[in-house]
């Protein structure tokens, strides 16, 4: 059965902080016409420039997925894009008054709620899907990284991770339909190891971070000074290590929440193709760099087939 493109029915807004910049930021989702795609607009700048959510605009993936077009930045887009993919939103204009999407609780749940509040609207143009006739693969064998798009009639995704530590080792997450993402995966939060968090704090790289928007794993016994520095940075008292090796700032929703969040990130990065996929995604140790390199390979495959248009 053929489906038409979808946008939202009414505009809706949300405010928060950028995780890395610490900037107070508001975003407003607005309906857009067919074939518009997902486009950001920096309304804080005088000429209100636009940045298309597209793989060709990816610039940096060191700690999040960041876009740039004509020198204009939009940072940390992956959680919002995952929500749009999960809710099948094809066309949207996103007003933003700073350069980074708000982190909210570190998941896609708040963005899913926004879309549900706005409602959806079917457009007159038919929805287009991305499909392949052969396997597209990105791999880095020395790091155990492998991502594949396998030809299939329906979209499915499975993610495997292994961090080789007693507190976070092998995990698996999967979805067979988008409803599973919305119901079970979208609320899964980002995570970090304590030693990584300490490095980010020391180097002023999480200016907008809060202890309630990330799961913190402790893979080795920290110096008391490190815990004290974390407490002081976040202005929290009585931070302790739980029996499961996480800090007591938040509770795990699922035993495999980290793998679920990696699936969430990958879904968001895949939406930089500009269209939904029909095919089976299999990923081992995904991350933003690997995800976007994988998406570039899919884009190049489609471009060679003459089935995509350059932006």
Q: Which residues pair with 60 in a beta bridge?
A: 66
pLDDT > 70: percent of the chain: 97
Binning pLDDT at 50, 70 and 90, where does residue 193 land? confident
pLDDT in tens, 218-271: 887 777 788 888 777 777 777 888 878 888 777 888 889 999 999 999 999 999
Out of 48-52, 63-67, 115-119, 228-232, least confident range: 228-232
Residue ranges of domains in the chain: 4-127
Query: CA–CA distance from 286 to each of 84, 125, 183, 188 (Å)?
Result: 20, 34, 22, 16
Phi and psi at residue 176, to the nearest 5°: -110, -10
Q: Are strands 120-126 and 38-42 parallel, antiparallel or unpaired?
A: unpaired
Burial class (CB in 10 A: 0-12, 13-18, 19+), 147: buried
Q: For tokens 């396998």, what's the residue?
A: 150
Strands 38-42 and 92-96, by their bridges, are: parallel
Buried/exposed code over 191-215 (b: 16+ C-beta within 10 A; e: otherwise): bbbbeebbebbeeeebebbbbebbb
Note the pLDDT of residue 246: 82
Q: Which residues pair with 162 in a beta bridge?
A: 170
| Residue 218 or 104, more confident | 104
Residue 8's closest CA among 155, 118, 130? 118
Q: Are residues 26 and 13 in contact, defined by beta-carbon separation less than 8 angstroms?
A: yes
Nearest Cα to Cα of residue 277 among 147, 189, 144, 118: 147
Does residue 69 have a pLDDT over 90? yes
**Cβ distance 273 to 248 under 8 Å?**
no
**Is the distance from CB of 309 to CB of 171 less than 8 angstroms?**
no
Tell me the average pLDDT across 199-210. 76
User: For position 311, what pLDDT does the model report?
Assistant: 47
Q: What residues are paired with 192 via a beta bridge?
A: 216
How far apart (Å, rounded) are the C-alpha atoms in residues 3 and 189?
31
Q: What is the pLDDT of residue 168?
A: 83
pLDDT of residue 307: 64
Given a cut of 80, whether residue 210 has pLDDT beyond it is: no
For the annotated catalytic residues, the residue numbers are 288
Tell me if residue 9 falls in helix, strand or coil. coil
Using CA atoms, how far residue 143 sits from 38, 251, 300, in Å, is: 33, 30, 23
Collapsed DSSP state (helix, strand, coil) of residue 250: coil
78 three-class SS: helix
Tokens 């988008």 correspond to 178
Query: 58-67, 143-152, 230-239: lowest mean pLDDT where?
Result: 230-239
Name the more confident of 103 and 236: 103
**Residue 245: closest CA among 200, 210, 196, 193:** 193
The token duo for 19 is: 């995780």
Strand (E) or helix (H) holding 291: helix 288-305
Task: Tell how strand 66-69 and strand 58-60 pair up.
Answer: antiparallel
Q: How many CB atoms lie within 10 A of CB 233?
A: 16
User: Is the pLDDT higher at 192 or at 121?
Assistant: 121
Q: Which of 21-25, 51-55, 56-60, 208-212 has the lowest mean pLDDT?
A: 208-212
Least confidently predicted of 16-20, 71-75, 157-161, 269-273: 16-20
For residue range 38-55, what is the model confidence (pLDDT) as tens digits? 999 999 999 999 999 999
> Residue 170: helix, strand or coil by DSSP?
strand
- Give the least confident one: 33-37, 41-45, 106-110, 202-206: 202-206
Domain 4-127 in CATH 3.30.230.20? The answer is yes
């Amino acid at each position: 059965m053929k489906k038409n493109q979808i946008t939202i029915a009414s505009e809706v807004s949300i405010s928060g902080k950028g995780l890395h910049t610490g900037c107070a930021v508001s975003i407003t989702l607005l309906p857009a016409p067919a074939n518009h795609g997902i486009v950001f607009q920096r309304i804080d700048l005088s000429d209100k420039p636009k940045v298309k959510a597209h793989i060709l605009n990816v610039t940096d993936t060191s700690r999040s997925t960041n876009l740039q077009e004509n020198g204009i930045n939009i940072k940390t887009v992956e959680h919002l894009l995952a929500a749009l993919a999960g809710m099948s939103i094809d066309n949207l204009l996103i007003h933003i008054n700073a350069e980074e999407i708000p982190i909210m609780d570190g998941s896609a749940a708040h963005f899913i709620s926004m879309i549900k509040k706005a409602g959806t609207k079917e457009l007159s143009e038919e929805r287009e899907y991305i499909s392949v006739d052969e396997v597209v693969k990105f791999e880095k064998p020395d790091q155990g990284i492998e991502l594949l798009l396998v030809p299939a009639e329906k979209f499915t995704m499975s993610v495997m991770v292994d961090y080789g530590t007693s507190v976070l080792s092998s995990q698996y997450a999967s979805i067979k339909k988008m409803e599973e993402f919305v119901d079970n995966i979208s609320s899964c939060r980002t995570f970090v190891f304590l030693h990584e968090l300490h490095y980010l704090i020391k180097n002023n790289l999480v200016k907008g971070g809060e202890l309630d928007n990330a799961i913190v794993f402790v893979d080795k016994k920290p110096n008391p000074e490190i815990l004290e520095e974390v407490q002081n940075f976040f202005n929290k008292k009585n931070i302790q290590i739980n029996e499961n090796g996480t800090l007591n700032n938040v509770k795990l929703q699922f035993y495999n929440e980290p793998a679920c969040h990696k699936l969430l990130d990958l879904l968001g990065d895949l939406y930089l193709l500009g269209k939904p996929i029909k095919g089976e995604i299999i990923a081992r140790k995904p991350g933003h760099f690997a995800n976007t390199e994988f998406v570039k390979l899919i884009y190049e495959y489609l471009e060679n087939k003459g089935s995509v248009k350059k932006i």
